[in-house]
Structure 1
Amino acid sequence: MKRKPAAARSKRFLVIMKFLLWACTVLAQHQFSLRSASGPSRPPGRATRARAPINQWQLSDHHIDWLVRRPAMALVAEHLLLHSDVVGYRQWGQTVAQVNQRVGQVLRSNEPTELWQLWSDLTRRYDFREDAGPAAANGMLQQFGGRRIMHGHSVIGESEGKEAAENTGAKHYADGLVTVIDAGLPAGGPCLLVEF
């Protein structure tokens, strides 16, 4: 198998890693976040990212292929598992299977505009918060199935200024329709295991 140039692999890396996190969501591990629980809302600078352990990994084509095959979302035991707490998944398909198929196609495409749009749609935060949160969560559940959304990406308590080390368990919100299970492991929070 001919290896793609390092630059092409690097361009896909960030997007692919975001979708790997669906599995980490199940284990409440948000190991690859570059944002601390109380840190800035914009991404860290290039020098900071270069020092991050995740950016020092050398992934093989085998690793990249495996990551691309991971689903972007899953429906397990009436729980809709998402990486991000966003409704952007709805733009990528009408069903869980369609979203996963389309996301996989985009990740394999190496088309920068589509990759950027996908990354942008699925890495925002907080669509299930505030007054409109329950309606947004209901829309996702009606479209994709399930009775509760479980997600990572937004660390428990970060919107209230809580330190990650203070987290002791998952947090339910949006009238009980949504559970955030990301305790902020890279920022000193615990690694939660959530039974459902």
Structure 2
Amino acid sequence: MTPEDLFREPEQPHSGTRPQQDLDVLPYGSWFGPAEPAEAAAGYSYEETHSTYGGASYLEQHWPHPAAQFDEPAVQVPGHWAPTGSNGTTGSDGPAGPPVEEPQPEDPPTLELGPPVLDVHFPYPQPEPGEGPGPLYVIGDVHGYLDDLLAALHQQGLIDAEGHWSAGRSRVWFLGDFTDRGPDGIGVIDLVMQLAAEAAAAGGYCRALMGNHELLFLGAAKYGDEPVQSTAGTASFLAAWRLNGGQQHDLERLEPHHISWLSRLPAMGIEDGHLLLHSDTTAYLEYGETIADVNDAVHTVLADEGIDELWDCFRKFTKRFAFRGQAGTMAAQELLSTYGGYRVVHGHSPIPYLTGTDHPDDGAKPHVPGPYIYADELAIAMDGGVTMNGRLLVARLPLN
């Protein structure tokens, strides 16, 4: 059972959730293991991290904010699995593990960032005659693991050693879930916003999707402990956020420009025939028949439709495993025939859960060599399970 299942609701049409007995039917798929980059051959390792990005420490030192709206301590749920991730913090779900210590504050940053300036139009360098678009990259769930993200981006040549964009006209899409479970969700958001500005100035772009944890985080910030009418019993966004790995220090450091940026993220997109989603669910079909309609519908829910409508949206995009098992290929085909593209690329469900290769009993590190291609090669899973000691995946598309 994953943490999101703790608030279980009746199945909805197009929910994508397979019957429980089908969860043991593993997909027939293949791993994509890219060749070792030149940086690795030169001595750079995947585990190497860079600490030059200011992130949370800079915010805390230079962006004073009012007292936190919510000052209750995070709730530890009895029996809730909290394995240690690669940074030694609470991870995903499973059997109870030993208590973990809160991460210590970072050293003073060497890269100073002011509040991101929104809606600035950068002069895009014009492409050379006959020059096509830059290469396309996708990035799976980050969940607050800023150092892992910096290492993975550097390994792919997308940033330099100081954490700045170095990929020229490349196109980058984050698939959502920036916060919760890891130590520095706000730092991750700040980095993505910074890279978006730097990429635009270089003639490329860095974009991001709305994940279910963005919906949950925004709901916790906006509604707090206000009850929602859940068929699973009365609940609140704040309680659900804490139960699913919400970090109090992220909530305390959330600023209005973060909320504005997160609220405008699209729910889905398409690039080079790749249909980009956060969640491996067909719930998107309930919000429109075009990508633009889906994005507009989700933005409307966030803007003014109320707490129960946002809760319902969060619950629908928390569903998973739509492309797994015998009906998975048909579910992927349904989304592709509706929204376009020839292959779905998603995050949300950690690959070790998707493939049944997690090891909750023996504690062994999951084997995640790369993205997972399945559903008759119509779907690519990109959540490498960084919260469960897996990997934070960055991949260049297309994958063959």
Question: Would the TM-score normalized by the shorter structure come out above 0.5?
Answer: yes
- Asked if the contact 2:141/2:348 (under 8 Å) is kept, the reply is no
Pick closer, same or farther for the CA change 1:47–1:72 going to 2, 3 Å.
closer
- Asked if the contact 1:28/1:181 (under 8 Å) is kept, the reply is yes
The 2-side partners of 1:179 and 1:108 are apart by 31
The 1-side partners of 2:315 and 2:243 are apart by 21
Pick closer, same or farther for the CA change 1:6–1:93 going to 2, 3 Å.
farther
Corresponding residue for residue 28 of structure 1: 140
Higher relative contact order (CA 8 A, sep 6+): 1
String of CA shifts for 1:57-107, please: whole Å, max 9, x gaps. Answer: 121121111101110111011101111000000100110011011101101
Q: Which residue among 95, 99, 108 is the counterpart of 2:294?
A: 99
Pick closer, same or farther for the CA change 1:120–1:53 going to 2, 3 Å.
closer
Q: Rg bigger for which structure?
A: 2
Aligned partner letter, 1:171: Y
The 2-side partners of 1:111 and 1:156 are apart by 34
- Asked if the contact 1:170/1:194 (under 8 Å) is kept, the reply is yes
Moved more, 157-166 or 115-124: 157-166
The answer to whether structure 1 residue 130 and structure 2 residue 242 are counterparts is no
Structure 2: state its 5+ residue gaps: 1-65, 71-136, 144-178, 182-238, 360-364
The 2-side partners of 1:108 and 1:81 are apart by 23
Corresponding residue for residue 54 of structure 2: none
Corresponding residue for residue 108 of structure 2: none
The 1-side partners of 2:275 and 2:262 are apart by 20
The 2-side partners of 1:168 and 1:80 are apart by 23
**Kindly, what percent of the aligned residue pairs are identical?**
35
TM-score by length of 2: 0.38
Query: How do 1:1-196 and structure 2 match up within 5 A?
Result: 6=69, 26-31=138-143, 32=179, 34=181, 49=242, 52=245, 54-57=247-250, 58-109=253-304, 111-159=306-354, 160-163=356-359, 165-196=366-397
String of CA shifts for 1:28-65, please: whole Å, max 9, x gaps. Answer: 2341355xxxxxxxxxxx59937956442121121111
The 2-side partners of 1:118 and 1:136 are apart by 20
If each structure's helix is expressed as a fraction of its own residues, which one has the higher value? 1
Q: Displacement of 1:157 after TM fit?
A: 2.2
RMSD: 2.8
- Asked if the contact 1:50/1:56 (under 8 Å) is kept, the reply is no
- Asked if the contact 1:80/1:141 (under 8 Å) is kept, the reply is yes
Q: Displacement of 1:194 after TM fit?
A: 1.0
- Asked if the contact 1:30/1:152 (under 8 Å) is kept, the reply is no
Q: Displacement of 1:6 after TM fit?
A: 4.0
Structure 1: state its 5+ residue gaps: 8-24, 35-45
TM-score by length of 1: 0.76
Pick closer, same or farther for the CA change 1:50–1:56 going to 2, 3 Å.
farther
- Asked if the contact 1:30/1:153 (under 8 Å) is kept, the reply is no
The 1-side partners of 2:377 and 2:293 are apart by 27
